[in-house]
Structure 1
Amino acid sequence: MTDTPELLRPHAEQVYAEELARLAAVDDRPRPPSWLLSPWAVVTYLMGGTLADKTVISPKYVGSSRLMEVAVATLATDRALLLLGVPGTAKSWVSEHLAAAISGDSTLLVQGTAGTAEEALRYGWNYARLLAEGPSEAALVPSPVMVAMRTGAIARIEEVTRVPADVADGLITVLSEKTLPVPELGTEIQARRGFNVIATANDRDRGVNDMSSALRRRFNTVVLPLPATVREEVEIVTRRVADLGKALDLPAPGDAVDEIRRVVTIFRELRSGSTDDGRTAVKVPSGTLSTAEAISVVTGGLALAAHFGDGRLRAGDVAAGIVGSVVKDPVADRAVWNEYLETVVRHRDGWKDFYRAARDAG
């Protein structure tokens, strides 16, 4: 892992430059046009492993390797890739690392919002030059998608269902014909081999735009599930908190596994509506309580422990963050949380400290 202490959030290709370089050096398998690594090496980069030269590749995704194989195989064809899932299932994380491993550049990114304009997906204009010179190549401002088409790289579109439907449909020609018409110049941009698109979408958000059937047909969809087990989710949270902690100069979460497991257990039980042993039904709050939120709660707890405690993560450091994540609706969610505290947490062995801290935080 490359050391980039001056950057708060380095790109994946910066953080893992050494791993990518070692993979490229030993990778003797066929590579699709413009790809820096073979599909096998891309999956190895994502899932982790030990190379023939004993280099250890750290896992970036904890879950089904088959899902990653399907995603990578899709990008090796002319089909675009849609990563679909509930919040916190690592859609953006996987998208970034796929682009980093395939193109060496994860920055060709369009962040989808309700205000995303057509120019963000196609092209815009430098209006000063446009008024002075008229339409010209020099006045054209390419979008990340256009840059990816010209260079044979991967473009990323985050939260594609937040983009207005008529704007998103501007991608149909790009994905089906692999061209981007520029009628103002009487020309078009034709995609180089290696170009493709990764889009992500959240299937639980309300008030967002449905993708048209014509656009959806241009994508192969891979659904990223929530972690299957407590152990798997604890591993994900621990790894991500460690990465974030280095950038924020927070204590390493090595001695925080018990508290991480407690946060993960609470989130999983409230998500599923049942305790882990299946003996007690619990009400489900309005929030998603995703793995990403668990990472945020633990990171915030480590900050409290580092700056206002002895550096060791304790129940009191995570209690307020958990309450804030669970109680989105001050009436309904408050009732759900209080009931969970009294029927589950209060009677659980070894959880008295958390029960008291949670009651104080509430």
Structure 2
Amino acid sequence: MNTALRAHAETDYAHELTALGAQDDRPRPPQWKLSPWAVTDYLLGKTLADGTVITPKYIGDRRTIEVAVSTLATDRALLLLGVPGTAKSWVSEHLAAAISGDSTLLVQGTAGTGEEAMRYGWNYARLIAEGPSDAALVPSPIMRAMREGRLCRVEELTRMPSDVQDTLITILSEKTLPVPELGREVLAAKGFNVIATANNRDRGVNELSSALQRRFNVVVLPLPATIDEEVAIVSQRVASMSKALSLPAQPPALQEIRRVVAIFRELRSGSTEDGKSKVKSPSGTLSTAEAISVVTSGLALAAHFGDGTLKAADIASSMVGAIVKDPVQDPVVFREYLETVVKERDGWKDLYRACRDQMK
């Protein structure tokens, strides 16, 4: 029995990947588990000829995913760019799972990420005892991906210091990683490439050098274009998370999800859905990922402290927590929105009262 809270994509969706591979008769780039066409179908979903249902991992424009997949079939690396919550990491993981069968070769970018995370490190006990050797070398995920002809994921690239980012330049341009201590280099095997993610809001933190920018093809993952598209994303991910968490609650009514999504969309866009009224925006991003978190947290409250049915009171506390980030500005913005928009909507009085009470 698998006790992992969330399995890797290649494990969780192994039956879909196997079914796609069995029916995939299109050309595959070297070392790819599936053809680019099948990888795109895996991301966007379809029903195969044998009746196997491939669930959509990304709901959005097909061309965007086609460009991302085709980039990885070239010698250019892929940079997924977007505001927080646009599924950059999610798409990155599923691309690696479908193409390489392994999404675990991952470098997590932070302000403290060192050069060894991108290149290689050393087992210092062996290094001191034996000197530089293959046994003392600790390969980075990128070095492993180069040796094995797989994809490596680099999360939050712009969070890393600039000098660490630039270690990628030689790797991406020359497809080689020098190891001067051993007097040799690691040459990338066919199939190697890099998928990086970066946050639009991090521009100015550690911007990419022009030399590194030229090594990437940038694909922007936008926020969902319509409320129906965003509701579908939230519904799908909440169902998946509820199953993983074994929440003993009824699936949330579509109406509750739609209300959460509508509020988030209106507050981040600065106008009501019908375009008739302007509203002030809070300091947070109010992304699709945060809407998923609000509904999931509400389900947990309903399951463990209610009757198992998601109600307005269950989602109010999480919603207020997601919206009110700045303790000075955001409460004023949200109270005004509650009084001028939510209070006046038919059938929304329960949500208005629950959020108002939570704001006291």
Cα distance in 1 for residues equivalent to 2:33 and 2:114: 32
Query: 1:284 aligned to 2:281?
Result: yes
Cα distance in 2 for residues equivalent to 1:253 and 1:111: 36
Query: 1:18 aligned to 2:25?
Result: no
Of 156, 176, 179, the match for 2:153: 156
Query: 1:136 aligned to 2:133?
Result: yes
**Deviation by residue 1:133-160 (Cα, 9 ceiling, x = unmatched):** 0000110000000000000000000000
Listed as ranges, the gaps of 5+ residues in structure 2 are: none
SS of 1:305's partner is helix
Listed as ranges, the gaps of 5+ residues in structure 1 are: none
SS of 1:200's partner is strand
Amino acid at match of 1:13: E
Q: 1:5 to 1:310 in 2, by over 3 A?
A: farther
Cα distance in 2 for residues equivalent to 1:175 and 1:339: 50
Query: 1:194 aligned to 2:191?
Result: yes
| 1:203 matched residue in structure 2 | 200
| 2:118 matched residue in structure 1 | 121
| 2:76 matched residue in structure 1 | 79
Cα distance in 2 for residues equivalent to 1:301 and 1:196: 40
SS of 2:60's partner is coil
| Offset at residue 5 of structure 1 (A) | 4.6
Query: 1:220 aligned to 2:222?
Result: no
Of 178, 181, 196, the match for 2:178: 181
**Deviation by residue 1:308-360 (Cα, 9 ceiling, x = unmatched):** 00110010011111111111111111110010011001111100000110011
Query: 1:232 aligned to 2:229?
Result: yes
Query: 1:100 aligned to 2:92?
Result: no
Q: 1:253 to 1:88 in 2, by over 3 A?
A: farther
Aligned-residue CA RMSD in angstroms? 1.0
SS of 1:37's partner is coil
Report if the CA contact (8 A) 2:105-2:142 is conserved: yes
SS of 1:339's partner is helix
Q: How many residues align?
A: 359
Of 35, 48, 54, the match for 2:32: 35
SS of 2:66's partner is helix
Cα distance in 2 for residues equivalent to 1:94 and 1:245: 20
Report if the CA contact (8 A) 2:120-2:138 is conserved: yes
| Offset at residue 293 of structure 1 (A) | 0.4
SS of 2:223's partner is coil
Amino acid at match of 1:69: E
**Deviation by residue 1:51-76 (Cα, 9 ceiling, x = unmatched):** 12221111000000100000000000
Of 56, 63, 67, the match for 1:70: 67
Cα distance in 1 for residues equivalent to 2:345 and 2:2: 41
Cα distance in 1 for residues equivalent to 2:118 and 2:357: 49
| Offset at residue 254 of structure 1 (A) | 3.4
| Offset at residue 252 of structure 1 (A) | 6.0
SS of 1:344's partner is helix
| 2:267 matched residue in structure 1 | 270
**Deviation by residue 1:230-270 (Cα, 9 ceiling, x = unmatched):** 11001101111111111111146634211111110000000
SS of 1:198's partner is strand
SS of 1:222's partner is strand
| 1:165 matched residue in structure 2 | 162
SS of 1:347's partner is coil
Amino acid at match of 2:39: V
Amino acid at match of 1:322: M
**Deviation by residue 1:262-303 (Cα, 9 ceiling, x = unmatched):** 110000000000000011100011100000000110110000
Amino acid at match of 1:41: A
| 1:44 matched residue in structure 2 | 41
| 2:311 matched residue in structure 1 | 314
Report if the CA contact (8 A) 2:158-2:207 is conserved: yes
| Offset at residue 127 of structure 1 (A) | 0.3
Amino acid at match of 1:318: I
Report if the CA contact (8 A) 1:301-1:321 is conserved: yes
Cα distance in 1 for residues equivalent to 2:166 and 2:252: 49
Cα distance in 1 for residues equivalent to 2:294 and 2:310: 11
| 1:350 matched residue in structure 2 | 347
Cα distance in 2 for residues equivalent to 1:251 and 1:120: 41
Which runs of structure 1 show a deviation greater than 6 angstroms over 4 or more consecutive aligned residues?
none
Report if the CA contact (8 A) 1:241-1:253 is conserved: no
Cα distance in 2 for residues equivalent to 1:263 and 1:132: 60
